[in-house]
């Protein structure tokens, strides 16, 4: 490790892994390694590291649950952050009185947060049942599905700016679109959610219903990264079209490149088997886009985040 690189964090309270196998930590379980995987232990040290990375033009990425991510075979350069220390994973509820809001760290596991809120009889996040993500990753892309999106219940979001300053954005300053937000900062610290007390048994049944729907329509037992493509806008009606339906209508279910296959259960899922290379997935995604465009003239855009060496993430 060069002295210039180590100077980014040598005096900070962080854990550093070199040549870290982050591809294996994604839901795909394939792909390359990170030159540096850094686990900050405090917000202050994270802020300093972010500031130094920006000043030195060092690529900076945040690895959440890895559920919507493909790491290229050649891996990634720069610094990859893993916000798994307690300051970034804690979940806090109202200290007194009725629970109206809950605050969850960006590194908290969304599935656990949803289940904990469900046990407490707190409605507001049931639409996220069965969606694998960290809280920060879900907020960053406004993750969601047929039952709604995480932005539906966001109360406020705290971020670190590129200058390493903490900024809290209230709901009225946030815009949640289809798989996007207007958050301008590179690192989310936490998100607060508006919740409503309700009957725990009824809420539990709703969550079970959502899980059952996902299990019946998606290849949950196979290795994938969720929906491969964003649902495109119809150029005439400007309504969202189902990418899975377009892929199905183009006759692409079961199409394979190497160990990557378009799921026969849901056309918008690309599954992999052991030994698959990330390049197999990338080539299959390109092939699907080409054939869907040739079939109906609609261009699909990936929903999966793709990390490549030498590229900057948004």
Catalytic residue among 162, 171, 179, 206: 179
How confident is the model at residue 80, as a pLDDT? 97
Mean pLDDT of all residues in 70-75: 98
| Sheet of strand 270-272, all strands in order from the earlier edge strand to the far edge | 256-257, 260-262, 270-272
How confident is the model at residue 1, as a pLDDT? 52
Mean pLDDT across the chain: 94
Known catalytic membership, residue 227: yes
**Rounded Cα gap, residues 126 and 290, in angstroms:** 36
Contact 79, 59 (CB under 8 A): yes
What is the rounded end-to-end Cα distance, in angstroms, of the chain?
26
How much is the CA Rg of the chain, to the nearest whole Å?
20
CATH architecture of 9-81: 2-Layer Sandwich (3.30)
Contact 179, 243 (CB under 8 A): no
Half-sphere exposure of 84 (CA within 13 A, CB side): 11
CA quadruple 103, 146, 25, 7: dihedral, nearest 10:
-50
Q: Where are the domains of the chain?
A: 9-81, 86-215, 219-307
Burial 202-213 (b: 16+ CB within 10 A, else e): ebeebbeebeee
Catalytic residue among 61, 159, 277, 303: 303
Q: How confident is the model at residue 220 (pLDDT cuts 50, 70, 90)?
A: confident
CATH architecture of 86-215: 2-Layer Sandwich (3.30)
Catalytic residue among 61, 227, 277, 289: 227
**Dihedral of CA 106/109/113/116: which sign?**
negative
How many angstroms separate the Cα of 31 from the Cα of each of 156, 235, 268? 34, 35, 20
Please check the confidence at residue 24 and state whether its pLDDT lies above 70.
yes
User: pLDDT digits over 179-210, tens only?
Assistant: 999 999 999 999 999 999 999 999 999 999 99
How confident is the model at residue 257, as a pLDDT? 98
pTM comes to 0.93
Known catalytic membership, residue 296: no
How many angstroms separate the Cα of 149 from the Cα of each of 127, 171, 222? 7, 15, 23
Answer whether CATH 3.90.78.10 is correct for domain 219-307: yes
Q: How confident is the model at residue 5 (pLDDT cuts 50, 70, 90)?
A: confident
Known catalytic membership, residue 197: no
Q: How confident is the model at residue 99 (pLDDT cuts 50, 70, 90)?
A: confident
Q: What angle do CA 110, 115, 118 make, to 5 degrees?
A: 125
């Amino acid at each position: 490790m060069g002295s210039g690189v180590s100077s980014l964090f040598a005096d900070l309270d962080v854990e550093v892994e070199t040549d870290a196998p982050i591809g294996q930590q994604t839901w795909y379980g394939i792909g390359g390694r990170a030159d540096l995987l850094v686990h900050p232990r405090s917000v202050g040290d994270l802020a300093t590291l972010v500031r130094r990375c920006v000043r030195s033009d060092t690529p900076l990425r945040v690895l959440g649950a890895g559920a919507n991510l493909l790491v290229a075979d050649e891996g990634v350069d720069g610094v990859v952050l893993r916000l798994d220390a307690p300051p970034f994973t804690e979940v806090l509820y109202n200290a007194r009185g009725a629970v109206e809001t809950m605050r969850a760290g960006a590194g908290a596991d969304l599935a656990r947060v949803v289940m904990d809120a469900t046990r407490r009889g707190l409605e507001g996040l049931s639409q996220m049942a069965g969606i694998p993500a960290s809280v920060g990753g879900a907020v960053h892309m406004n993750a969601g599905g047929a039952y709604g999106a995480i932005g539906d219940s966001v109360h406020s979001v705290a971020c670190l700016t590129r200058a390493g300053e903490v900024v809290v954005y209230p709901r009225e300053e946030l815009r949640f679109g289809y798989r996007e937000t207007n958050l301008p900062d590179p690192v989310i610290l936490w998100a607060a959610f508006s919740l409503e007390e309700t009957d725990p048994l009824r809420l539990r049944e709703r969550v079970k219903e959502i899980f059952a729907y996902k299990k019946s329509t998606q290849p949950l037992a196979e290795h994938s990264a969720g929906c491969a493509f964003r649902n495109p806008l119809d150029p005439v009606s400007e309504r969202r079209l189902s990418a899975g339906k377009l892929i199905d209508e183009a006759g692409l279910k079961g199409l394979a490149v190497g160990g990557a296959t378009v799921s026969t259960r849901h056309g918008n899922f690309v599954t992999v088997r052991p030994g698959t290379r990330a390049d197999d997935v990338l080539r299959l995604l390109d092939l699907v886009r080409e054939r869907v465009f040739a079939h109906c003239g609609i261009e699909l855009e990936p929903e999966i985040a793709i990390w490549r060496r030498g590229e900057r993430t948004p």
